[in-house]
Amino acid sequence: MFSYKLPCGDFQTVTTMTEKNISFVPPVYEQRYCAAIQILMGWQDQIKKVVEFGCAEIRFFPLLRRIETIENIVLVDIDEALLRKNMNRIDPLLSDHIKKRQSLLQVQVLQGNVADSSDELRDTDAVIALELIEHVYEDVLTKIPLNVFGFMQPKIAIFSTPNSDYNVIFTRFNPLLPNGFRHEDHKFEWTREEFKSWCTSIVQKYPNYMFALMGVGDPPKGYESVGHVSQIAIFVRKDILELELENPLIRNVGTSSPYQLIHGVTYPFHVDTRSQEQRIWDDVQYELNNFKQYCKYQTEDDDCSDIHKLPFESLLSRIHRTGATREILDDILKKKSVQVKDDFVLIEDFGRRFP
């Protein structure tokens, strides 16, 4: 296991229990979505392709598509009728045509089984399976680790499932369903120890991975021992944690059962035809002019210096999305006759434009 904390810190949530019911603000499903998004955002520079198993009504997708670094989203569910009913939720909005993305985004809705190692799943960086595993029978459950960690080998995988330890709270107000669970389609509900045991068995079989546990849906005050409503496991490949892999990554053979394409779209995006050098220089000019204006507003002295000094590293950090390195930036500044002295970029304030 490894220790994990959400990049933006813990959620500000409220759990209220009265004599008649228990309520969660925001709702637990929203907390689960937000947790998954935060986890992905923490490694967004590493993620281009995401597969969501058990996408159902495609409700998680509107949040997922907002991560700009993702270029390929594959939504998978076994229920073809449900997918066809909700497939148009992936279609671009009018606003997507007005303000286009800066990079490609392709989205597919596929009908298929989470246990099948289909070629459509290759080259996946992140796997999402929220409240899925409790809906599958034992024969499918045993094949999920083989498909995800043996065949797909993603950088990150996120699984969530109900925490049955919390049921003692729910049964204060309503009994469980006749099947003994919270939902009529659940095949099981695990305690925290059972879920941890499942996760441990996965990393033992696939030692390239480590996992961390967290949860959403806080217990009411005085019942902290029951844990959270929903428990979440985050599996991360060791090389992403800057650790050495136990085994080399191998391109395994898939099954002969391809998924069925239900719907697919490509989002409109802006094609930047500028060279990398021009993109970097455009950003440099923007940042230097911004810094110059900032310096002028910070002083009331009319006789202030005609030269402002911006730390070289500060400028480099401001334009990091352009892919500029220290060497590339230094070369461009020399070409444009921008002076650098003692690791400061000198900005002349004589009312002239940069060359």
- Backbone φ, ψ for residue 188 (5° rounding): -165, 165
**What is the reported pLDDT for 256?**
60
Calpha distance 105→97 (Å, rounded): 13
CA 279 to mean position of chain CA atoms: 27
Buried residues in 206-225 as b, exposed as e (16+ CB within 10 A): bebbbbbbbbbbbbeeebee
Q: Tokens for 10, please give them.
A: 């813990």
Instruction: Please name every residue paired with 341 in a beta bridge, in sequence order, or none if there are none.
Output: 344
Report the candidate in 231, 173, 166, 240 with the shortest Cα–Cα distance to residue 209: 240
Per-domain residue ranges of the chain: 14-267, 276-348
Taking the whole predicted model, whether its pTM rises above 0.85 is answered as no
The CATH code of the domain at 14-267 is 3.40.50.150
The answer to whether 214 touches 234, Cβ cutoff 8 Å, is: yes
- Per-residue confidence of the chain (355 residues) as pLDDT tens digits? 888 888 887 788 999 999 999 999 999 999 999 999 999 999 999 999 999 999 999 999 999 999 999 999 999 999 999 999 999 999 999 999 998 998 899 999 999 999 999 999 999 999 999 999 999 999 999 999 999 999 999 999 999 999 999 999 999 999 999 999 999 999 999 999 999 999 999 999 999 999 999 999 999 999 999 999 999 999 999 999 999 999 999 887 776 668 999 999 999 998 888 899 999 999 999 999 998 888 877 665 544 567 888 999 999 999 988 889 999 999 999 999 999 999 999 988 655 444 4
Q: Is 14 exposed, middle or buried (0-12, 13-18, 19+ CB in 10 A)?
A: exposed
